[in-house]
Structure 1
Amino acid sequence: MQDVLNVGIAGLGTVGASVVRLIAKGDNRLAQASGRRIRVSAVSARTKGTDRGIDLSAMRWVDDPIKLATDPGIDVFVELMGGAEGTAKQAVEAALDAGKAVVTANKALLAAHGVALAKKAEAKGVALNFEAAVAGGIPVIKTLRESLLGNEIERIYGILNGTCNYILTRMADEGLSFEECLADAQRLGYAEADPTFDVDGFDTAHKLSLLTSLAFGTLVDTKGISIEGIRSIKPVDLKMADELGYRVKLLGVAQRTADGVEQRVHPTFVPKDAAIAQVNGVLNAVAIDADAVDLTLVGPGAGGNATASAVIADIADIARGHRTAPFIRPVAQLTKPTRAPLTRHEGGYYIRLEVVDKPGTAARIASRTAQNNISLESIVQRRAGPTRGGTDPSAAAAPAPVVLITYATTEAAVSRALKAMDSDGVLIGRPQVIRIERN
């Protein structure tokens, strides 16, 4: 057996503490599997005296993470601090410049600077591993880097944010509002005090940009992603989805088209019998459609042990001497992505309108959809509520909810039709538009 692989960890939050704990617990097993003992020899964090439930007595404490990154006593620098800029970026750059292998769970850093960091790693001949940056404990990076090299991937998509999946699951199962579910997610630690990064789709977009690069050999292009979060989802949307045979999921989707690579993040109606529709709570899922195989990987997308499991797998690869280009292909071979326009969506759309309850409204809606070559599969109209103003016959009628289910059409056509309806004065408030995926 070879000598010890010395690891330095910067960041001892939930994930960092779990990495220390699991390496200590699996010391002999890891050594047997990788042919080399793995030892956490030095650590760094914001505060030294915090009780993290782990024994740090055998490890050197380094106050400055950047100094830890270049410490001659470590072979691998593990960055678990988070953040796209500042100390995390500087420390990873310093480690790579010093010829240290790097393992990180920092999707924001990689989405913003992954290509530049990969170039540094290649120049120094060291590993830059980031399995834990996408989908937590699901080994999707390793699957793309190793298991699917004989495949041409056509589409990769999935549930990449546990916070959003938890909220949508609770809304669907219990009829709760977005605000109620978000408050519960924050109380349980599934959502941050400022949930913007999660619920507005940016976290999913960062992860999707990395998967896109790995799947299609393109430079990371977060700015090329069309992003929509889940704040606008109402209990009525979940109820209608259920009646129509669907569940609502926030999906990140990247697919190859004749015009380039299309990347999008948005809520989606998914058939109840689809595998991805069964993924509930804080779980994540990634589906890969390729020319030889189609795969769906499901597992915990966050949490100390799940994310630590992915970090340790990356460290074990380094211990074995296994190294590949961070984005499969060398940076020089990554192509600039051609941003494909959002294409005709074969699954159609769910469109919920609040409309003025008066004669002729339905006719105007039908006319505007027809003018934009939108074929309707069904129209569902709920009875309007009581008139505003009680029994006063002159008072305006309350909005009447109308749901349209379209056949295949384009997002541009839907947008034009809704704009025309609004100019007709039949709409009240902002329409809800959600893509439908069909089997």
Structure 2
Amino acid sequence: MNKIPGLLISAPSSGTGKTTVMLGLLRALADDGLCVQPFKSGPDYIDPAFHLVASGRASFNIDTWAMGDGLLNAIASQAQGADLCIAEGSMGLYDGVATRGQSGFGSSAETAARMGWPVVLVVDVSGQAQSAAAVALGFKMYNPDVPFAGVILNRVASPRHARLASLGMEQAGINVLGALPRRGDLALPERHLGLVQAVEHPDLEAAIVGYAEFLREHVDLAALRAAAGGGGLPSGGALPTPPAQRIALARDAAFSFTYPHLVKGWRDAGAEVVPFSPLADEAPDPSADLVWLPGGYPELHAGKLAAAQTFMAGLRHHAETRPVHGECGGYMALGDALIDKAGQRHAMAGLLGLVTSFEKRKFHLGYRQARLLSPLAGGHPAGARLRGHEYHYSTILEQPDAPLADVGDADGNPVPETGSIRGNVSGTFFHLITAEEA
């Protein structure tokens, strides 16, 4: 078994600065000549694109709620050839759901324990000094099965503040791997679903270079590398198989939310993935077996999409004889209309009767488990059980078509966003992660 050590960057809660720490570490270590394999713990499709830019290597999600052991093994094996793995956690270290999924409850702590990657806890010490050690000690002791490397202190106000906070950590027996001074220019731009996409950042490369320089100046990179552990690459398992041989995949600022393990699995199995841009008014490849519209931000580009007649005509023509599937934003674009933030109604493809509104905003967030009522393009028969994640603000105003699936949250409670199907066209509000393993 190959040994590739790793670390997991986590925090007591969201908003502590772990993403900028992650990006800075990826670039700093890559600049030192290391081949660093990034991962994201949990169901996030925005952060991995930033990881790719920072490290030069595709990042993959590890999700202990949605994924069974076989898929987890296959994803971990994507680190083959790397010198070091670094994973970014989601939310707080121990945050998950109440009901066990295929392998666990979905927390970053489970990822760290399963992979043997020691946790580097990014602690925001604003407004406290020695007291921060009590927080860190609680996270270290909460589950002794989770390996713990130490802490990076963030938003330190002064050298004196750093000394006091470090003293508390020393008294608690916790390693301090770095102390980052407070800087207001380190925040990444955000919008309603979190970070602005990597492709939209006004100067992402310069930002990542700055993060790397900042981390190199204030973090003991040698100590951090020495703290890495675990990393025995598992064997067995496989990435998901492709839904068709030739797949036209929408990919631009309006449709970009694809899980990397899905597309990698499609390509590894020999499928041809042909990207196209609806925003550039490109039609899907006319020889494609399947058109797949991923999630994204169609609500921000509704007028441009409505005017993209070449795209719309190509989509409608394809749907006459071959399958079209949309997820979340892609599902919205397949509908009859999309109402934007200002209340303006924009005509969409009209392949489904769905009408959605971004004016009437409501936050929909969480894992989804689905039992298909009809076959789904890609070899998923009626009755198949799927795992996914839903994350959007749009509200359904009309959905007259047949439901695609019975859909529930992580605890099995029914949710109204069942997806829909009409002829060769289907869509869901959840983003597919995988089919359930037998």
TM-score w.r.t. length of structure 1: 0.25
**Quick check: which one's helix share is greater?**
1
